[in-house]
Amino acid sequence: MYTNCTFAVNDRVATLTVNRPDKLNALNAATIGELEQAIVEVTSRDDIGGLIVTGAGKAFIAGADISELAKQTPVDAKNRALRGQRIFAMFERSRKPVIAAVNGFALGGGCELAMSCHFRIASEFAKFGQPEVKLGICPGYGGTQRLPRLIGKGRALQLLLTGEMIDAAEALRIGLVNQVLPAADLLPRADALLRQIMANGPLAVGMCIEAVQYGYDAPLDEGLNLEANHFAILAGTQDMREGTAAFLDKRAPAFTGR
Ligand code: COA
C-alpha cells in the first residue's frame, strides 16, 4: 500500500514516483518507509527486472521533511540517519539496475537518494544540492560519503559547504548525472536504458553491480580478485553458455537468469 509514492510495473520495468508534490516530495518518515517497501518489492519480485526512481511535479525530492527535522533530538537524528542510510543502501546494492530519472529539485536527501541509484539521468529542469548546512545540520543519508566518491573531494566540499544549488548542465559537467534531456524525454530514456540493460544476462548485470559496489572502496588487488571470482561464478551459469552460444550461432540470446 503506497500513500506518498506510486509504484507501477510495466512489462518488467518498475517505476517508483515520490508523490507529495505539494511538499516538493520531501521525505517524511512515512515516505522513507515506502521507499523501503518499493525496493523490497523490486529485489524480491521475479516479474520486475529493474527500477526507475522519479518524482511527481516540479521536484524529484526537495530533501528530508524539514518539519520533522525541526523537532528531532540527537537520539532521533541518529536513528533517522541510520534508517535512511540502511534503506538507501538497499537501492545501491540491488542486483537489479536502478536508474534515477531526476525531473526537478534533488536536494539534500533527494540528491542522496539519486546518488544511491546506480546512475542518474536528468531533465533540463533538474537542480541538485546539499543545502543542509543552511539549516545548521549536515547530510545524514550518505551525502558526505557518496558525493566525494562520485564527483571528487574538492567539488563535493564546495557543494556541501556552500549549500549552493547547481543546474542540470553543471551536474552533467561534474559527472553527477550521465545525461540531460528535455523533460518529455526523461522517462522514455530511462525506460529504454533499463530495457537495454535487462536484455543482457541478469546474473552478469548483478555481478557487475556487486563487483563495482564492493570493489570500489577495496584495495585494487581485492577488487580484482572479487572480479575474477565473479567471472568464475558466471562461467558456471546457463546464461554464459546461452550468451556465448547465441553469439556463435548468430542469433539473439534467451537468458533465463540461471
Ligand atoms: N521539507 C518540508 N517541506 C518542504 C521541503 C522540505 N525539505 N521543501 C519544500 N517544502 C514545502 C514548502 O514548505 C512549501 O510548503 P507550503 O506550501 O505548505 O508552505 C512547499 O513545499 C513548496 O515549497 P516552496 O518553498 O514554496 O517552493 P519554491 O519553488 O519557492 O522553492 C525550494 C523550492 C526547493 C528552493 C525550497 O522549497 C527549498 O529550499 N526547500 C528546502 C530544501 C532543503 O533545504 N532540503 C534539505 C533538507 S535536509
Note the pLDDT tens digit of each residue in 246-257: 999 999 999 999
Of all protein residues, whose CA lies closest to atom 4 belonging to ligand 1?
Answer: 23
Q: In percent, how much of the chain has pLDDT > 90?
A: 100
Q: Exactly one of 132, 170, 210, 227 is catalytic; which is it?
A: 132
**Does 67 contact ligand 1 (Cβ within 6 A)?**
yes
Average pLDDT value for residue range 91-114: 98
Cell of 102: 531526476
Q: Looking at residue 155, what is its pLDDT?
A: 98
* 242 classed as catalytic: no
Q: Looking at residue 221, what is its pLDDT?
A: 98
User: Using CA atoms, how far apart are residues 121 and 128, in angstroms rounded to an integer?
Assistant: 12
* Placement of cell 539521468 in the chain: 121
Level-2 CATH architecture, domain 5-198 = Alpha-Beta Complex (3.90)
Q: How far is CA 190 from CA 28, 150, 245, in A?
A: 26, 20, 30
Q: Exactly one of 36, 68, 92, 112 is catalytic; which is it?
A: 112
Note the pLDDT tens digit of each residue in 26-53: 999 999 999 999 999 999 999 999 999 9
Q: What pLDDT band is residue 89 in, cutting at 50, 70 and 90?
A: very high
Neighbours of 177 (CB within 10 A): 25
Average pLDDT value for residue range 214-234: 97
Strand pairing partners for 102? 122
Burial class (CB in 10 A: 0-12, 13-18, 19+), 145: middle
Cβ–Cβ under 8 Å, residues 49 and 10: no
| CATH number, domain 202-249 | 1.10.12
Ranges of each domain in the chain: 5-198, 202-249
Read off the DSSP letter of residue 117: S
Q: What pLDDT band is residue 156 in, cutting at 50, 70 and 90?
A: very high
**Does 165 contact ligand 1 (Cβ within 6 A)?**
no
Average pLDDT value for residue range 201-216: 97
User: Using CA atoms, how far apart are residues 39 and 168, in angstroms rounded to an integer?
Assistant: 26
Cell of 70: 525541526
Cβ–Cβ under 8 Å, residues 176 and 150: yes
CA geometry: angle at 211 spanning 207 and 215, to 5°? 170
For the chain, the first-to-last Cα distance in angstroms comes to 31
Q: Looking at residue 50, what is its pLDDT?
A: 98
Average pLDDT value for residue range 174-198: 98
Q: Looking at residue 106, what is its pLDDT?
A: 98
Asked whether the whole model's pTM tops 0.75, one would answer yes
Gap from CA of 121 to ligand 1 centroid (Å):
23
